[in-house]
Amino acid sequence: MGEEVTGTLEVHGAKNVFELTAPSDGTLVARLSWPPTQGRLELWLADTLSSQSDKPPIAGTLTVVAGRKYRVTVADYAAWDYDDLFLPYVLRTDIQ
């Protein structure tokens, strides 16, 4: 929480899953950015699609309880495409 995480999706259909433990009760805010000319991404919070777009950044929120674990997933929006994919991204999470 409160950090930037960088990652790269390298094949269509790929996803990166992060497990976070809430340090306090509140609202988890996740922001995702990437180079817009390189592809499209989806942001999932606790197995629910929060946002998808071909224009970054995107953001989502989730009510969280201290001590519980939550999944944040960054996924390829165009899983059905067959072209090459190299899509770096930056994910930032905060509790409000």
Q: Model confidence over 38-87: pLDDT tens digits?
A: 888 999 999 899 888 778 999 999 999 999 999 999 999 887 777 788 99
Tens digits of residue pLDDT in 23-42: 999 999 999 999 988 888 99
Q: State the pLDDT at residue 1.
A: 64
- Pairing mode, strands 4-9 and 87-95: antiparallel
Average pLDDT over residues 87-96: 96
pLDDT at 6 over 80: yes
Q: Scan for tokens 């390189």, then name that residue.
A: 38
| CATH assignment at residue 75 | 2.60.120.380
Selection from 48, 40, 54, 37 nearest residue 73 by Cα: 48
Total domains in the fold of the chain: 1
Which domain, by its residues, includes 67? Answer: 4-95
